[in-house]
């Protein structure tokens, strides 16, 4: 199973309604929404009002990534939007079990995010509790960074644990995901591919539908 998630932060922010329409035509599986607080990462993005407007103007399920400190504060802030997923970073969580339980109570699928330098051992005991793992292949915060190939070894290690599980969480990958990096990620059982400037929101010719159809051929 695989699907594409469009990183809406990389879209044309002055024409979001049109962008959403084009992403729906492309049959995008998820809208990846980065929420950044300017503390955990040196950038700020996507407050509740923006995501409320996005939710009201698309049928594509939202996939919110909290690149923040105090993730529980932001979960409470965004839970009313009813995204499909909320990912929060293990690096900033004081009580992952509590935060996972809160998301479940709100009908939101919980996901744990892991930065490139953080070892898989930090999330092993939480694997049975979540529906997805967001494995960052660049440092969170900014688009356009080079793909961190050391993360491939992390995926290999993670898959050892997941193979022992009856219902393992999905693996989502985010950071310079494109026709060059997708094949090696697919070999390592990635399920959800976040597409940003390098593969979707760029100046290359073609509609979003055409670009996604081209990427889909990599899985055949």
C-alpha distances in Å from residue 70, one per residue of 22, 165, 181, 212: 34, 30, 32, 35
What's residue 143's pLDDT?
Answer: 72
Number of domains in the chain: 1
Q: For 127, which DSSP code? A: G
- From the list 34, 37, 63, 131, the catalytic residue is 34
The tokens describing 137, both together, are: 């292949």
- From the list 37, 63, 131, 174, the catalytic residue is 174
Residues 6+ apart with CB under 8 A from 28: 4, 5, 6, 60, 208, 212
| CATH number of the domain residue 149 falls in | 3.20.20.70
Say how far apart CA 80 and CA 78 lie, in whole Å: 6
Q: Using pLDDT thresholds of 50, 70 and 90, give the confidence band for residue 45.
A: confident
- Does the annotation count 42 as an active-site position? no
Q: Using pLDDT thresholds of 50, 70 and 90, give the confidence band for residue 43.
A: confident
What is the per-residue pLDDT across 190-204, written as a single tens digit (0 to 9) for each? 999 999 999 999 988
Residues 6+ apart with CB under 8 A from 157: 120
Picking from 120-124, 125-129, 144-148, which range would have the lowest pLDDT averaged per residue? 144-148
Which strand (E) or helix (H) includes residue 97?
helix 96-105
What residues form DSSP beta bridges with 171?
133
Q: Over range 164-193, report the average pLDDT.
A: 97
What is the per-residue pLDDT across 138-170, written as a single tens digit (0 to 9) for each? 998 777 789 999 999 999 999 999 999 999 999
3-class DSSP assignment, residue 171? strand
Q: Could you tell me what percent of the chain has a pLDDT over 70?
A: 100
Say how far apart CA 148 and CA 8 lie, in whole Å: 22
Q: In whole numbers, what is the pLDDT of the chain averaged over residues?
A: 95
Q: Which backbone phi and psi does 102 adopt, to 5 degrees?
A: -60, -45
What is the per-residue pLDDT across 55-101, written as a single tens digit (0 to 9) for each? 999 999 999 999 999 999 999 999 999 999 999 999 999 999 999 99
- Does the annotation count 174 as an active-site position? yes
Q: Which domain holds residue 178?
A: 3-219
- Cα–Cα nearest to 54, from 18, 104, 5: 18
What's residue 220's pLDDT?
Answer: 73
């Amino acid at each position: 199973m695989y699907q594409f998630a469009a990183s809406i932060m990389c879209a044309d922010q002055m024409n979001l309604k049109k962008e959403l329409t084009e992403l729906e035509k492309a049959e995008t599986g998820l809208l990846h929404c980065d929420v950044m607080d300017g503390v955990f990462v040196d950038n700020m993005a996507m407050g509740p009002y923006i995501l409320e407007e996005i939710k009201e103007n698309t049928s594509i399920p939202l996939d919110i990534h909290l690149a923040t400190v105090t993730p529980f504060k932001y979960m409470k802030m965004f839970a009313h939007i009813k995204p499909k997923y909320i990912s929060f970073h293990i690096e900033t969580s004081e009580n992952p079990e509590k935060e996972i339980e809160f998301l479940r109570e709100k009908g939101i699928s919980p996901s744990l995010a892991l930065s490139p330098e953080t070892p898989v051992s930090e999330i092993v005991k939480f694997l049975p509790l979540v529906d997805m793992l967001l494995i960052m292949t660049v440092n969170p915060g900014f688009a356009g960074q080079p793909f961190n190939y050391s993360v491939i070894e992390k995926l290999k290690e993670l898959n050892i644990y997941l193979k022992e599980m009856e219902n393992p969480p999905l693996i989502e990958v985010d950071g310079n995901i494109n026709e060059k990096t997708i094949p090696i990620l697919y070999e390592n059982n990635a399920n959800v591919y976040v597409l940003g400037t390098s593969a979707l929101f760029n100046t290359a010719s073609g509609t979003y539908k055409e670009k996604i159809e081209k990427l889909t051929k990599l899985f055949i």
